[in-house]
Structure 1
Amino acid sequence: MLLTTILQIVTCCLVFPAQVTAFYYYTSGSERKCFHKELSRGTLFQGTYKAQIYDDGIQDYRDAGAQDFGVVIDIEESFDENHLVVHQKGSASGEIIFLALDSGEHKICIQPEAGGWLIKGKTKIDVEFQVGTDEKLDSKGKTTVDVLHTKVNVLNSKIAEIRREQKLMRDREATFRDASEAVNSRAMWWIVIQLIVLAVTCGWQMKHLGKFFVKQKIL
């Protein structure tokens, strides 16, 4: 009997390699709630969440909209002094994709936030966590990873374009600096030439005046 049970457990693990956890919890205001997950290096973590706010008019919870509040998602590495690896601000409902870079306990924190103001009233947060490799997760998770990969490529392209523009600006600055130095050099030589001409003129005038004064018997 025990052997049969063990075989059933092993079979379930083989058939369902991705771990799925779904739950909900109640909170008030902008309380930050954290959950701990043990992730291995290279493990893909996918989470979805949906926030609801208590409506006194209908005496029940309703889906929160953008005008109500948003949600902040933080993922920290508990084994590395709570090193923050993900900080994501989103709407009242959404998802998050994270690839663990190191093995150990990770802390996933969820906090409702309304533009820096405290949220009044009670809220309900529906959460679903799914852990596995990217091959074992659903196609939606694969699509999300592909989208993120595309965004990273776009950002890399923009960074390369910014670097090209910076290089062009540096080249223009170097050209302008060389032109300014050339103009300053010409202006300096022109001043030197003017001083030489002025000195020669003054010398000639002094000599001419000396001869004039001698002829006039003034000196």
Structure 2
Amino acid sequence: MKSFIVYLVSLFFCLAQINCFHFYLEGGEKKCFYKELVEGTLLVGKYRVEPYENQGALNKEKLGVNLYIEEVFDNDHRVVNQKGPATGDFTFTALDSGEHRICLQPQFGGWFAKIKTKTTFDIEVGDNTILDSKKTNEIQSLNERIKTLNKKLDLIKKEELLIREREREFRDTSERVNSKAVKYSIIQVIILFSIGFYQLHSLRGFFVKQKIL
């Protein structure tokens, strides 16, 4: 009973375990890690291989990785044999319970070159439902952020419409005021000309009566 409780506790701590580390490898060298996986456990990994410091004129596009996953408990039965670029990821679901070996082997141009590489390896081990729920939560969080951004965009659009409406009202008011000012100026000019003409006509009549003209 005690061993069973210990097994459950260790299983609980392994439900969502994350490991991130980096190491250095010579050309053609293989690095392996051992994980005790329960049937149905999902393993998610990310890796990045890059030349260590100055490796001369190295074509980084030719740098790749061989990934192996083997079932140690089943005479090292290889269940994953994957070749990929220098940066990538992978997922693996354990078909049976037992110890598994995860190996990374950098390669250059299809043949192992004598170059030193720095490899960053990040793995997450957990139950399918837990990891799926985490992904679902991330998606929901992204959806919430998108909704928030959409609301902010709608608010900005409404503010822009309000500003445009005020600008239009101000422009219409300015045009009405300018139009009225022009009309008043024209009326004033007409009145001034009329007063001047009337005064000239009156003075002419006065001079005629006085026999000055």
Q: TM-score range by the shorter chain?
A: 0.5 to 0.7
Separation in 1, partners of 2:129, 2:81? 25
Question: Which amino acid is the alignment partner of residue 86 of structure 1?
Answer: V
> Where does residue 36 of structure 1 map in the other structure?
34
2:55–2:115 contact (8 Å) kept in structure 1 = no
Determine which of 88, 97, 102 is the counterpart of 1:94.
Answer: 88
User: Deviation per CA, 1:21-40, whole angstroms, max 9, x where unpaired?
Assistant: 11111111120111100000
1:112–1:119 contact (8 Å) kept in structure 2 = no
SS in 1 for 2:112: coil
SS in 2 for 1:136: helix
Q: Displacement, 1:111?
A: 0.3
User: Deviation per CA, 1:61-88, whole angstroms, max 9, x where unpaired?
Assistant: x9x8323x10010000000000000011
> Where does residue 44 of structure 2 map in the other structure?
46
Q: Does 1:65 align with 2:60?
A: yes
1:28–1:121 contact (8 Å) kept in structure 2 = yes
Q: Displacement, 1:121?
A: 2.0
1:26–1:122 contact (8 Å) kept in structure 2 = yes
Q: Displacement, 1:45?
A: 0.5
SS in 1 for 2:128: coil
Separation in 2, partners of 1:54, 1:18? 31
Question: Which amino acid is the alignment partner of residue 46 of structure 1?
Answer: V
Q: Displacement, 1:54?
A: 2.1
Separation in 1, partners of 2:55, 2:76? 41
Q: Does 1:139 align with 2:138?
A: no
> Where does residue 98 of structure 2 map in the other structure?
104
> Where does residue 130 of structure 1 map in the other structure?
124
2:40–2:128 contact (8 Å) kept in structure 1 = no
Q: Displacement, 1:57?
A: 7.4
Separation in 1, partners of 2:31, 2:119? 10
2:36–2:99 contact (8 Å) kept in structure 1 = yes
Question: Which amino acid is the alignment partner of residue 107 of structure 1?
Answer: R
Question: Which amino acid is the alignment partner of residue 28 of structure 2?
Answer: S
> Where does residue 110 of structure 2 map in the other structure?
116
Q: Displacement, 1:43?
A: 0.3
| Residue 26 to residue 57, structure 1, CA distance change in 2 (3 Å) | closer
Separation in 1, partners of 2:77, 2:112? 26
**TM-score, normalization: structure 2?**
0.53
Separation in 2, partners of 1:139, 1:66? 31
| Residue 85 to residue 124, structure 1, CA distance change in 2 (3 Å) | same
Q: Which has the larger radius of gyration?
A: 2
Separation in 1, partners of 2:43, 2:15? 13
> Where does residue 156 of structure 1 map in the other structure?
none
RMSD of aligned Cα (Å) = 2.8
- What is the aligned-residue identity percentage? 45
SS in 1 for 2:61: coil
Q: How many residues align?
A: 125
- The runs of at least 4 aligned residues of structure 1 exceeding 4 Å deviation read none
User: Deviation per CA, 1:130-183, whole angstroms, max 9, x where unpaired?
Assistant: 00122212429x99xxxxxxxxxxxxxxxxxxxxxxxxxxxxxxxxxxxxxxxx
Q: Displacement, 1:17?
A: 4.1
* Contiguous gaps of at least 5 residues in structure 2: 1-8, 140-213
